[in-house]
């Protein structure tokens, strides 16, 4: 055949050997998803064959030549009941199975490792808590529960990993989460599956699942030197959060140490859990998140902090157990709230903890003094 046309032959060979028919099963949930899929395929096949046999069978058995006179049959309540109840029952099985699977995928386990994803036209940014930043790629360890907390900077996107059988919309304005547990090391497709404009089809990337050792090596090698929480700590001080949220008695703002995950009472009596969404929302829309017992005087930071900055702050507050370091930044600085608010510039203070006295928020961090800062909060 190859003397026919070398090009055509190459094409054929390539096609026949390189095409895919089924995605790899690379996560813990994938086999469950596939099992459900095969069940659905099975009942569809049965249904289709049944209808096909009825249509083909009856039209051959009762074609005009064989049956010149049609027999009027009004109906049969029994048959109606049968073919109502049996499909309904099968669909209910699908409903229950599907619901269980859904709740499994969208309810992350409590000790999952959290990675932040920011989607924007037309790229994915992954932010590991240890400060590793990736573009259009995500390195993860296998056999570890990984939760993704995602947000969009502009329009709707959707984070999809077919090999893991997970997907979630990435929405502007609030966090969405999904979790998975990779089981097979390898490189898998990452797609944006919600149409988002010109380069929607280019908003793709790689999910790299690695053995725990390889992952450890990777984290060490790719860190920017600052964990997200460390960045958050700097932002917290430079934006002046520490002046109201100092944790001292009589402070203007509520104490944020240990607030993550706790129940808070809002102005108006409602009680909510202070999760990621709440923390982010409080920074952008403080008036709608005003806590009971505090005057609603917190200014909004909409437009002043990027999504990455918000992630840093949220990550910082999540790990905030005590206000010791907050006090320290207040104590040995000639810092006043009006400075940060008015100019947005980092105040001029000496701090033993923070790196670089004149770093701007979100600036490229200085990697020199990252030692002695302690492990990044998880």
**273: contact with another protein by CB under 8 A:** no
Q: Are strands 186-192 and 157-161 parallel, antiparallel or unpaired?
A: antiparallel
**Span near another protein by CB under 8 A; candidates 36-44, 232-240, 242-250, 257-265:** 36-44
Q: Which of residues 297-316 bind another protein (CB under 8 A)?
A: 297-300, 302
Question: By C-beta, is 46 or 363 nearer to another protein?
Answer: 46
Question: What sign results for the dihedral spanned by CA atoms 351, 361, 236, 132?
Answer: negative
Among 5, 107, 248, 338, binds another protein (CB under 8 A): 107
To the nearest whole angstrom, how small is the minimum distance from the Cβ of residue 80 to another protein? Answer: 5
Residues 6 or more apart in contact with residue 333 via CB below 8 angstroms: 347, 349, 350, 351
Q: Is the peptide bond before 218 cis (omega within 30 degrees of 0)?
A: no
Q: Are strands 271-273 and 157-161 parallel, antiparallel or unpaired?
A: unpaired
**263: contact with another protein by CB under 8 A:** no
**274: contact with another protein by CB under 8 A:** no
Question: Which residues lie across from 245 on neighbouring strands?
Answer: none
To the nearest whole angstrom, how small is the minimum distance from the Cβ of residue 153 to another protein? Answer: 10
Among 103, 110, 262, 271, binds another protein (CB under 8 A): 103
How many of the chain's residues bind another protein (CB under 8 A)? 100
Query: In this structure, what token pair is assigned to residue 338?
Result: 């009006």
**40: contact with another protein by CB under 8 A:** yes
- Helical segments of 126-275, H only: 212-222, 228-238, 241-244
Q: Tally the C-alpha atoms within 13 A of residue 352's C-alpha that lie toward its C-beta.
A: 6
Is the Cβ–Cβ distance between 152 and 120 less than 8 Å? yes
To the nearest whole angstrom, how small is the minimum distance from the Cβ of residue 50 to another protein? Answer: 9
Among 5, 10, 187, 201, binds another protein (CB under 8 A): 201
Question: By C-beta, is 171 or 257 nearer to another protein?
Answer: 171
**333: contact with another protein by CB under 8 A:** no
**294: contact with another protein by CB under 8 A:** no
Q: Which of residues 62-101 bind another protein (CB under 8 A)?
A: 62-65, 67-76, 79-80, 83-84, 87-88, 91-92, 94-95, 97-101
Residue with tokens 């099992």: 35
The secondary structure element, H or E, covering residue 309 is: helix 307-318
**344: contact with another protein by CB under 8 A:** no
**195: contact with another protein by CB under 8 A:** yes
- Helix, strand, or coil (residue 289): helix
């Amino acid at each position: 055949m190859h003397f026919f046309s070398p090009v055509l032959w190459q094409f054929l060979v390539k096609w026949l050997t390189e095409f895919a028919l089924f995605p790899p099963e690379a996560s813990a949930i994938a086999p469950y998803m596939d099992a459900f899929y095969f069940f659905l395929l099975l009942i569809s096949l049965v249904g289709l064959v049944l209808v096909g046999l009825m249509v083909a069978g009856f039209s051959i058995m009762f074609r005009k030549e064989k049956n010149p006179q049609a027999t009027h049959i009004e109906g049969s309540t029994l048959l109606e009941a049968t073919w109502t109840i049996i499909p309904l029952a099968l669909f209910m099985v699908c409903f229950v199975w599907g619901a269980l699977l859904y709740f499994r995928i969208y309810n992350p386990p409590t000790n999952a490792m959290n990675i932040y994803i920011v989607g924007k036209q037309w790229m994915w940014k992954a932010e590991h808590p240890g400060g590793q930043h990736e573009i259009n790629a995500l390195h993860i360890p296998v056999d570890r529960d990984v939760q993704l907390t995602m947000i969009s900077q502009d329009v709707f996107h959707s984070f999809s990993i077919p090999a893991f059988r997970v997907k979630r919309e990435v929405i502007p304005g609030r966090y969405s989460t999904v979790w998975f547990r990779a089981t097979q090391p390898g490189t898998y497709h990452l797609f944006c599956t919600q149409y988002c404009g010109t380069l929607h089809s280019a908003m793709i990337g790689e999910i790299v699942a690695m053995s725990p050792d390889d992952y450890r090596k990777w984290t060490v090698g790719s860190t920017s030197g600052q964990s997200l929480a460390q960045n958050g700590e700097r932002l917290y001080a430079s934006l002046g959060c520490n002046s109201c949220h100092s944790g001292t008695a009589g402070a203007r703002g509520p104490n944020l140490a240990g607030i993550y995950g706790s129940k808070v009472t809002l102005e108006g009596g409602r009680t909510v859990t202070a999760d990621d969404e709440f923390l982010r929302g409080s920074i952008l829309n403080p008036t709608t998140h005003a806590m009971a017992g505090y005057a609603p005087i917190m200014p909004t930071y909409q437009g002043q902090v990027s999504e990455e900055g918000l992630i840093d702050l949220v990550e910082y507050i999540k790990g905030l157990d005590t206000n010791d370091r907050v006090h320290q930044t207040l104590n040995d600085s000639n810092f006043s709230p009006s400075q940060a608010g008015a100019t947005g510039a980092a105040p001029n203070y000496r701090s033993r903890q923070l790196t670089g006295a004149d770093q701007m928020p979100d600036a490229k961090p200085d990697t020199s003094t990252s030692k002695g800062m302690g492990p990044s909060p998880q």
